[in-house]
Structure 1
Amino acid sequence: MRTSILVFILLSCTLAKQLYDVKKSYVTPVNEINFEKQINKIRQTTKYVTIVHFYKFSDGESKQFAPKYDKFTNEYKGIFRIASCDCDEAEKICQKESVSKYPTFRVYPPYPVPAIDYEGPLEIDGILKLATKYIHNNAIEINEANINTFINEKPTVPKVLLFSEKKGFPLVYKGLSVEFEKKLSFGIVRSTEKALLDRYNIKEFPKMLLIKTNEKKPYPYTGEYKFKPMFDFLNVHSEVFVPGGGSSADSAATKEWLMQVVPQLHQRSANDICLKVEGVICIILMNNGDKPDNRLIDELKKLNAQYERQIDRGAVFKFMWLDAKTESKWGSTLDFQGEPKVVLLNPGKRKRMAVHEGEMKFEALQQTLEKLISGDLRFKPIGESLPDFVKTDL
C-alpha cells in the first residue's frame, strides 16, 4: 500500500512538471528515444522546418511562456513542425545538441542548412520571423504568358491557383505547397493580371481555385484562409501517388525564357536555350548592359519567324541576347568591344564562333545566316570549354 502511494506521489510530481499536456497540446515532446526520428530524419528527408523549445522546468521563463507557445502551435501546426524537449528528462540530448541556456528556441531547417537559435526577446513574433526565413516555397508566379503551360503540363496533377492582391507568397500557401509536394502544383496570380481575373471570374481577394485538367470547371475554395481548412479542402483532391508529379518549382512555367522569342542568355537559361540543345547555332546579340534596344530585338524576332519555318535546311537557329557588361568573361571570349554586335556560336564539341560584320538589320543579318547555311561563313575556334556565367537569381 505504501509503495502504491509513493509511486502515485512520484508520478504526480512528474506530471506536474510537464509544460505541455500530451493529451491536449500539439507540441510534440522529443527525447532520447525519438529525437533522431522526429528532428534529424525529418531534416534529411523532407523540406519541413522544425522549431524546438529546449527547457528546464526551473528555468524561470518557460512555464510562463508555454501557453503562448501552445497557442502558436495551434495556429501554425502543419506549416511548421513544433516540438519541445525537457532537458531535465532528456539531459543527453540537450548535451549532444550543445544547449547551454534555458529556454532555448532552436529552428531546424532542412539539411544542409545548419540549425540556428533564436536570440531575440522571448516573444512569438520573433521566433516566427526566424523560422519563416527557412520555409520552402513550391508555389510559382503565374501570368498570362505561362498560365497554359502551368495548367496543361503534367495533366494528372491537379493545379492550385491563389489570386492575391498582396505582394509575396503567404506563409500558409508556402506551407501547403510543401505539404502537397508531388501531389498538387501551386501557382499565385496577382490582382494586376486582368486577363486571368476575367478568365476565372475573380471578383474578390484572396480567392483559391483547384483545377483539374480533364474537368471543365474549377473547384472554388470558400472557407477560411487558414492552414487546416485549406489543407482539408485540398486533401480531398490530392492523390496518394500522381504519375508525373513533382514540385511546382520544377515547372516549365517558371522558365520564362522558354516562352520568349529572344530570351536573355544567363546562368539559368543557357542550357535550355542554347548550350545543351543538340544541333543548334546560338545567335547572340551582345549588349553593354541591360536589355538591348527594342529595335534590335525586333530584328531578331523577324529572323526567328523567317528561319523557324526552314529547319529542313540543315541549321537550327536560336536567338538570344547577352549582357556582356555583367558577363565579362563571355564578352572577352566573344571579342565584345562595347558596341552591340551579333555573334554566331556553335556550342558543340568543337566550340567555334563567327561575327556578323554588317549592319544590325534584318536584311544584313539574313545574309550572314545564309552564308552559314551555304558553308561560306568562317568560324574560328574558341577553345575546349565556354566561360562560366555570373551566378544570378534572375
Structure 2
Amino acid sequence: MAYLHVFLTLLGFTQAALYNLSSSSVHILTTQNFDKQVTRRRDKWVSVVHYYKENDGRSELHAVEMNHFAEDWQGVFIIGSVDCDKYSELCEAHDIREFPSIKVYPPYPAPVSLYEGEVTSKSLSAYAAKYVPSNVIEISNENLQTFLDDKPAVPKVILFTEKAGNPTLFKALSVSFESKMFFGIARKDDDAAVKKFKIKDFPKIIIYKTVDQKHKEYSGEIKYRSIFEWLNVYSETFVHGGNEESSSTKSWIIEALPQMHKLSVDDICYKQESMCGIFFLESQPDEHIITMSRVLASKFSNKDRGISVKFMWLDLNTDKAYADKFEGVEKDKLVFLKYGKRSRFVLHQGELSEGGIEKTLTRIVGGDGKFTNIKGSLPELAPPKTK
C-alpha cells in the first residue's frame, strides 16, 4: 500500500504542475515577486527555495517533501519554489547550475547556502532552524520581575517548558511580534515564574498584562499558525508604542469581519501594512462571508505568502460615494485595496467563494493581479451608527 500511495502521489504531480497555486502551501516565486518575498525579507527571515525543471527526474519527490515542509513550517520560514523552465533568467541570476537545487537564504550577513542534505521536511527544518533569529529572553528567578515590569502596557508572552534550548517556533513568533510583545522562556525549575502563574503542566504558553495583573493560557495546538492567530488577537488590542486601547471601545479590532467606517478604517486598513479586502454589501455580512474571511485572513497573514490581508465590509447604504470611486464595483462585490499616495485596487471576479478568492490573492502574490488606479482621493467614510 505504501508503494501504491507514493505512485499515486507522483502520478498526480506528473499530470499537473509541481506546485498548485491554489492548494500548495509553497510560495510560487517568479521574477516579479522574488525580491519582495525573499531578498527584501532577509533582514529577519529565513527562506528555503526549490529550483527545478519539470522533467529533471527528482523534483516530483522533492515537491512532495517541500509541500509537507511548508504545511508544517510556512510562517517560521519562507518556503518557495521557482520553475526554471519558465524563469530561466531568475535561476541564472541565483547561480543555479544543477536541477533540482535547494538554496537557503538566511538573514544578513550570513551567506546564501546550497542545501545538500536529505530532502525531507524534518531535515530541511533542522538545517534552516539554525539561522532563525530570536528576541526571546531567558527567564530566571532573578530577572522575572524585571522582565514583567519592563513597559507594563506591552503584553509578555512566556513559554514554560521542561526541555533545554529555545524552540524554533517560539523564536519565529518573537520575530513576528517584535515591538508588539515581549517573549520569555521559563524552565520547570524556575520556581518563581512557575508559582506566580500556577503552571502545573508543560509545555504551556501564557500571555500576561502587567497593567492589570492578569494572564491567559493558550490551549490550542503547539503549531506556529495556531499560536500566531491567538497572539494576534491580543497584539491588535494595543496601540503601537505600548499604550493600551480597550477592545471594548474599539470592538472592530477583534471582530472577524469589521465594518469599514470613519473610526475603524485606520486601525484595520489605512495605517497598516496589510492589503485591505473590502466586501461591498447592503446589509450585515452572513456567517458564510464572516467564516470565509477568517480563514483567508489566516492563510494570508503575517506576509507568510508574500502578502498580508485583512478583510472589512462596507455598507453601500451609508457610503455609496466611497464605493463609486471603485470602477466596476456594485453590491456583493469584493476588491483588494492598496491604500497610499497612489491608491489602487484589484476587483475579484466571480463568486464569493473561498477557493475563488484565494486564486485572486495568489495571482496578486505572483505579480499577475491587474491593479486599477483610483482617480483622486477617497472620500471620508461615514461614522458608525450608534446602537
For the aligned pair, the TM-score class normalised by the smaller chain equals 0.5 to 0.7
Contact 2:158 2:183 survives alignment (8 Å): yes
Secondary structure of residue in 2 paired with 1:122: coil
Q: Displacement of 1:16 after TM fit?
A: 4.9
Report the equivalent of 1:217: 214
What CA distance in whole angstroms lies between the structure 2 residues aligned with 1:25 and 1:201?
41
* Residues 18-33 of structure 1 mapped to structure 2, 5 A cutoff: 18-33=17-32
Contact 1:56 1:103 survives alignment (8 Å): yes
Report the equivalent of 1:164: 161
What CA distance in whole angstroms lies between the structure 2 residues aligned with 1:235 and 1:208?
14
The amino acid across from 1:40 in the alignment is: T
What CA distance in whole angstroms lies between the structure 1 residues aligned with 2:112 and 2:16?
27
Match of 2:101 among 101, 104, 117: 104
Secondary structure of residue in 1 paired with 2:158: strand
What CA distance in whole angstroms lies between the structure 1 residues aligned with 2:70 and 2:157?
26
The amino acid across from 2:32 in the alignment is: I
Secondary structure of residue in 1 paired with 2:32: coil
What CA distance in whole angstroms lies between the structure 1 residues aligned with 2:119 and 2:197?
45
Contact 1:161 1:210 survives alignment (8 Å): yes
Contact 1:143 1:189 survives alignment (8 Å): yes
Report the equivalent of 1:370: none
What CA distance in whole angstroms lies between the structure 2 residues aligned with 1:229 and 1:126?
23
Report the equivalent of 1:115: 112
| TM-score, L = length of structure 1 | 0.56
State which structure, 1 or 2, has the greater radius of gyration over its C-alpha atoms.
1
Report the equivalent of 1:87: 84
2:174 aligned with 1:202, yes or no? Answer: no
Contact 2:38 2:78 survives alignment (8 Å): no
Gaps of 5+ in 1: 1-14, 246-394
2:233 aligned with 1:230, yes or no? Answer: no
2:240 aligned with 1:242, yes or no? Answer: yes
What CA distance in whole angstroms lies between the structure 2 residues aligned with 1:60 and 1:241?
52
| TM-score, L = length of structure 2 | 0.57
Instruction: Write out per-residue CA displacement over residues 132-166 of structure 1, whole angstroms, 9 at most, x where no aligned residue.
Output: 11001111100111111111111221000111000
Secondary structure of residue in 1 paired with 2:38: helix
What CA distance in whole angstroms lies between the structure 2 residues aligned with 1:67 and 1:121?
13
Contact 2:160 2:204 survives alignment (8 Å): yes
Give aligned-pair identity as a percent: 40
What CA distance in whole angstroms lies between the structure 2 residues aligned with 1:123 and 1:224?
22
2:165 aligned with 1:148, yes or no? Answer: no
Contact 2:69 2:122 survives alignment (8 Å): no
Contact 1:157 1:242 survives alignment (8 Å): no
Match of 1:63 among 57, 60, 63: 60
* Residues 34-45 of structure 1 mapped to structure 2, 5 A cutoff: 34-43=33-42
What CA distance in whole angstroms lies between the structure 2 residues aligned with 1:235 and 1:244?
15
Q: Displacement of 1:124 after TM fit?
A: 2.9
Secondary structure of residue in 1 paired with 2:124: helix
The amino acid across from 2:64 in the alignment is: P
Contact 1:52 1:105 survives alignment (8 Å): yes
| 1:102–1:241 Cα change, 3 Å | farther
Gaps of 5+ in 2: 1-13, 244-387
Q: Displacement of 1:67 after TM fit?
A: 1.7
Contact 1:156 1:242 survives alignment (8 Å): no
Q: When the two structures are aligned, how many residues end up with a matched partner?
A: 230
| 1:241–1:114 Cα change, 3 Å | farther
Q: Displacement of 1:126 after TM fit?
A: 2.5
What CA distance in whole angstroms lies between the structure 2 residues aligned with 1:142 and 1:242?
25
- Which structure would you say has the larger RCO, counting Cα contacts within 8 Å and 6 or more residues apart? 2
Instruction: Pick the structure with more helix per residue.
Output: 1
What CA distance in whole angstroms lies between the structure 1 residues aligned with 2:227 and 2:213?
22
What CA distance in whole angstroms lies between the structure 2 residues aligned with 1:223 and 1:174?
18
Contact 2:68 2:121 survives alignment (8 Å): no
Secondary structure of residue in 1 paired with 2:214: coil
